Chain A
Amino acid sequence: MAEKMQLNEVEVWDGNMSASQALRQAQIDVVAAYPITPSTPVVENYGNFLANGYIDGEFIMVESEHAAMSGCVGAAAAGGRVATATSSQGFALMVEVLYQASGMRLPIVLAVVNRALAAPLNVNGDHSDMYLGRDSGWVQLDAFNSQQAYDLTLMAFRIGEDYNVRLPVMVHQDGFITSHTAQNVNPLSDDEAYEFIGDYKKVNPMLDLAKPVTYGVQTEEDWHFEHKARQHHDLMTKIFGVTQDVFDAFEEKTGRKYNLVEEYFMDDAEVAIVALGSTVETAEMVARKMREEGIKAGIVAPRMIRPWPHEQIKKALSKVKAIACLDRSSPNGALGMLYNEVTASLYQGDNRPIISNYIYGLGGRDFTIEHITDIFKELDANAKEGKLTTPLQQFIGLRGPKLSFY
């Protein structure tokens, strides 16, 4: 029986340690992993806990991320609680198996420490890997700081393993900015955390030899469409309710409130930034300052990226006059993902704000208070003029002459 770890009421943990501790407390049956920067410490810490007697489950070191996710798929199909961690190139190598995991409806938890994709090679944080995963059929949750990385990793097990969901869940955090920044974290005790997640509930386990089942079958034009449609149906109709219930239960236990779409100062905001990751917190700080200067600034931040919380986004932005959608991933020949999603959601509502797109922070480029202040000022001008006063898509924080399109 694994030893319990004595934790302080306030720990100073970086995002990687927060993810590792949540994985340890979940009493996982199998972790198959292949470490990669900047998520390496998630796996390293986990191995350390195992070696020191804090973990009962299996820890399988494999030869690649493709094998890591394959091991997770096998163990999850066999009927165990399963998790792993990765970043960037490792995430890219996992992609084939990510679709297998979601298609087989296996509730695996994947801690993704977001990092840029090569080439050129870069170990720092942006959202390229997160965006790469968005059609994979996984649930994607996004943490803005270390505390949230801990909380959401715990909650991911309960969400994915819910009988109505049975889908794998990614918990994202920003490489280095979150993963290597130590901050105050209030953890649950080992008992409280495990009690919150609950025992793993097996559904059609392969190791139940009295009831043989098969996973990963072939379906051609006869049934493939129906399987994909069922998965999409569940993503569109079942995940939001289950996730909000888990968020509510977590709030009751810890006092920490989570929403499918987080809103800051949106009650009376006239201009808003839509963003993901650690940028949300810096932007919250800047919004406070802008309000002192008379600009009614707000922030809307999807806590859940997939499935896309269409209704909540529409509601959150139903009153603003100008919006900036901030994408930390190169769209490589299109408008950014957040711009496209937000615009599509708002087009179905009554509000017709001016919406612009900013590409920022690629490969870990620092995104500063000054940048965010400039964006709010441009939004304020858009709101006052009632039309776009800047190009539609702008690169911000880029060296050299200003780059913009449309």
Chain B
Amino acid sequence: MLEIRWHSRAGQGAVTGAKGLADVVARTGKYVQAFAFYGSAKRGAPMTAYNRVDEEEILIHEKFMRPDYVLVIDPALVFVADVTAHEKDSTKYIITTHLSKEELIESQPKLKGKEVYIVDCMQISLDTIGRAIPNTPMLGALMKVSGMFDLEYFQNAMKSVLSKFPQKIIDANMAAIERAYNSVK
């Protein structure tokens, strides 16, 4: 089973991102889960969202997980949230930041020796979508790092997930996914 944990702030679209990913993966015949920790969350409060993907029906309903991927879509959360909680040796990190990887790891020694990828989802979403909604660029970066789907397949699947939105928004999201796919490192 593949397990993913998202670190986000309420309102940045982690739940939508997790559900969008689940939607795309379910179309390939796999079983999925997408959920989040809520509580009385206010816009801007740190939160976590989760995905599970498996070949078989997913029976597990515990919230606890040892994630294969940790996706951090707000640049400040790597400094204030426990992004390495319950990690495995093989956990991969994709972190939104404007810093270089060296600067980031130097400021956050907990990431030293880990498989860390960086991508500036904030700048990408501001440039393409016009708002700080870093969820779809993060999905683009995840596709590149995980090799889950190739770019074109994923973009086509996301087009149908986003089909209720105006064409302009769909196009902007496609551009955001592509730029993140090509710039994650």
Contact = CB atoms under 8 A, between A and B. Distances in A.
B58 interface: yes
Nearest to A176: B38
A182 B33 contact: yes
Interface string B14-47: 0000110011001100011111101110000000
A182 B64 contact: no
A282 B64 CA distance: 12
Interface residues of B, number: 23
Nearest to A122: B39
A249 interface: no
A368 B33 contact: no
Contacts of A278: 61
B39 A181 contact: no
Given A180-B36, A282-B59, A12 B19 contact: yes
B60 interface: yes
Given A124-B39, A176-B38, A369 B60 contact: yes
B19 A182 contact: yes
Contacts, number: 71
A11 B38 CA distance: 23
A10 interface: yes
Given A12-B22, A279-B61, A281-B60, A180 B35 contact: yes
Interface in A308-330: none
Contact of B26 (A184, A284, A367): A184
7 contacts: A12-B19, A12-B22, A12-B23, A124-B38, A279-B61, A281-B61, A282-B61
Given A12-B19, A12-B23, A181 B60 contact: no
B22 A182 contact: yes
A367 B40 contact: no
B55 interface: no
Contacts of B102: none
Contact of A181 (B35, B40, B57, B64): B35
B46 to A, nearest CB: 17
B63 A366 contact: yes
A183 B62 contact: no
Given A38-B38, A281-B60, 16 more contacts: A10-B26, A11-B26, A12-B23, A12-B26, A176-B35, A176-B38, A181-B61, A182-B22, A182-B34, A183-B32, A184-B31, A278-B61, A281-B59, A281-B61, A366-B63, A368-B64
B19 to A, nearest CB: 5
Contacts of B33: 181-183
Interface in A119-152: 123-124, 145
B168 to A, nearest CB: 21
Contacts of B60: 281-282, 285, 369
Interface residues of A, number: 27
Nearest to A121: B40
Nearest 4 interchain pairs by C-beta: A181-B35, A278-B61, A281-B59, A182-B34
A64 B60 CA distance: 36
Which among B18, B40, B57, B61 has the highest number of chain A CB atoms within 10 Å? B61
A177 interface: yes
Nearest to A11: B26
Interface string B141-165: 0000000000000000000000000
Contact of A282 (B31, B34, B62): B62
A29 to B, nearest CB: 28
B179 to A, nearest CB: 26
Contacts of A285: 59-60
Contacts of B26: 10-12, 184
Interface string B59-85: 111111000000000000000000000
B149 to A, nearest CB: 16
Nearest to A177: B61
Contacts of A178: 61
A145 B63 CA distance: 15
A123 B35 contact: no
A367 B62 contact: yes
